[in-house]
């Protein structure tokens, strides 16, 4: 394991922001492993790599009902094949929106499990290798709603707010061991997640964005690339807000 250079692990890399992060980190020279919940998603990732002759792989990983032990086994298998995880991007996420009074426990639990508990489990599984190597960069995808709040998204905002506290706390635990932990909080980005919004909803939201447009997946990926790079060597516990000015703090 020690003779291998290490790789970047990106969750939810089959589409949207995760696919752009995988492409960008691969362009940056990292061997990349991207996860997806379906064979089709893995095929998409592997096709992208094969067409460009890039190092890495797609990997099946569904956080729903995945215990810590299962995730640890996955990480051990990957480490045996690709070396230590040098960059972990906790990107996979879901929304299950509803107003609190109508929100079922199932919707609450599903979002907390995939958007927050999975980050705890996968980070824990990858951290031992990073500490041993005395280097690593962990980048967690939060959201503008972690800071601003959003009606209809108490579950999602709670999970993403949790990510920010998790990021700052872990950054303090592992900074002295050469591991940096940061977050990226996107605003409205053009992906499947936001394509569910109606034109009317998008128009209203656009009025709140000084740059008057949705962000692109590449603009988020560029921030992740920066946080993973030597240029960000003195950044830890930080949250980069990529939201066109929609929310400033
Ligand atoms: P998409 O809905 O486009 O993609 C979600 C990704 O997560 C897919 O690769 C999907 O895999 C994966 N995923 C979904 N469920 C699970 C699961 N149970 N286990 C493992 N992986 C899963 O999302 P975006 O690209 O828009 O969002 C990426 C991240 O950015 C998320 O964390 C999101 O919360 C955050 N974000 C997005 C914003 C936006 O405007 N789009 C704004 C702010 C934050 P599969 O293809 O197999 O289903």
Tell how far the Cα of 17 is from the centroid of ligand 1, in angstroms.
7
What integer is the mean pLDDT of 86-100? Answer: 98
Interatomic CA distance for residues 170 and 162, integer angstroms: 12
Q: What is the structure's pLDDT at 29? A: 97
What percent of the chain is modeled with pLDDT above 70? 98
- Reading the block at residue 108, the tokens are 């609450």
Pair of tokens at residue 207:
């009025």
The mean per-residue pLDDT over the stretch 213-219 comes to: 97
CA distance 45 to 34: 7
Mutation test residue for ligand 1: of 43, 64, 94, the one with most atoms within 8 Å of CB: 94
Q: Nearest CA to 158 among 220, 95, 104?
A: 95
Catalytic pick among 7, 48, 59, 156: 156
Secondary structure element (H or E) that encloses residue 239, with its range: strand 239-242
- How far does the centroid of ligand 1 lie from the alpha carbon of residue 45, in Å? 15
Q: Is the pLDDT of residue 5 over 80?
A: no
Å from CA of 192 to ligand 1 middle: 8
16: left (phi over 0), alpha (psi -120 to 50) or beta: left
The neighbouring-strand residues paired with 10 are 34, 89
- pTM, to two decimals: 0.98
Stretch 237-242: mean pLDDT: 98
Main-chain dihedrals φ then ψ at residue 153, nearest 5 degrees? -130, 40
State which ligand 1 atom lies nearest to the alpha carbon of 13.
9
Q: List C-alpha distances in Å: 232 to 39, 41, 52.
A: 35, 31, 27
Distance (angstroms) between ligand 1 centre and the Cα of 247 equals 21
Nearest CA to ligand 1 atom 8: 12
* Cα–Cα distance, 175 to 142 (Å, whole number): 20
234 is catalytic: no
Average pLDDT, integer, range 102-112: 98
The whole-angstrom separation of Cα 209 and Cα 198 is: 17
The backbone torsions φ and ψ at residue 231, rounded to the nearest 5 degrees and listed phi first, read -60, -20
Which residue bears the tokens 């109508």?
A: 102
Sorted by where each starts, the structural domains of the chain and their CATH numbers stand as: 7-190+217-238 (3.40.50.720)
To test the ligand 1 pocket, which listed residue (16, 21, 45, 110) has its Cβ within 8 A of the most ligand atoms? 16
* pLDDT computed for residue 2 by the predictor: 45
Weakest mean pLDDT among 74-78, 131-135, 198-202, 206-210:
198-202
Positive or negative, the CA dihedral 75, 79, 82, 87 is positive
pLDDT > 90? residue 212: yes
**CA separation for the pair 241, 249 (Å, rounded):** 9
pLDDT, residue 1, reads 43
| 144-179 per-residue burial string, b: 16 or more CB within 10 A, e: under 16 | bbbbbeeeebbbbbbbbbbbbebbbebbeebeeeeb
pLDDT band at 170 (very low <50, low <70, confident <90, very high): very high
Mean per-residue pLDDT over the chain, rounded: 96
Q: Which atom of ligand 1 is nearest to the CA of 17?
A: 25
16 lines ligand 1 (CB under 6 A): yes
Q: Confidence band (pLDDT; 50, 70, 90) for 3?
A: low
């Amino acid at each position: 394991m020690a003779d291998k250079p290490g790789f970047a692990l990106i969750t939810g890399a089959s589409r949207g922001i995760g696919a752009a992060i995988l492409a960008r980190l691969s362009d940056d020279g990292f061997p990349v492993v991207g996860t997806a919940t379906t064979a089709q998603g893995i095929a998409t990732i592997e096709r992208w790599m094969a067409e460009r002759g890039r190092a890495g792989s797609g990997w099946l990983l569904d956080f729903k009902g995945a215990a810590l032990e299962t995730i640890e086994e996955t990480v051990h298998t990957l480490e045996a094949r690709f070396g230590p995880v040098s960059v972990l991007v906790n990107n996979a996420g879901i929304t299950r929106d509803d107003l609190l009074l109508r929100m079922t426990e199932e919707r609450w639990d599903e979002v907390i499990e995939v958007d927050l508990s999975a980050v705890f489990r996968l980070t824990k599984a990858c951290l031992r290798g990073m500490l041993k190597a005395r280097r690593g960069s962990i980048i967690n995808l939060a959201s503008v709603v972690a800071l601003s709040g959003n009606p209809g998204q108490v579950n999602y905002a709670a999970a993403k707010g949790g990510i920010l506290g998790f990021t700052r706390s872990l950054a303090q635990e592992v900074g002295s061991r050469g591991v940096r932990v940061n977050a990226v909080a996107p605003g409205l980005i053009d992906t499947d997640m936001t394509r569910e919004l109606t034109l009317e909803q998008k128009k209203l939201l656009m009025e709140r964005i000084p740059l008057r447009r949705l962000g692109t997946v590449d603009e988020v990926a560029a921030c992740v690339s920066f946080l993973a790079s030597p240029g960000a060597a003195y950044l830890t516990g930080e949250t980069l807000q990529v939201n066109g000015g929609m929310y400033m703090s």
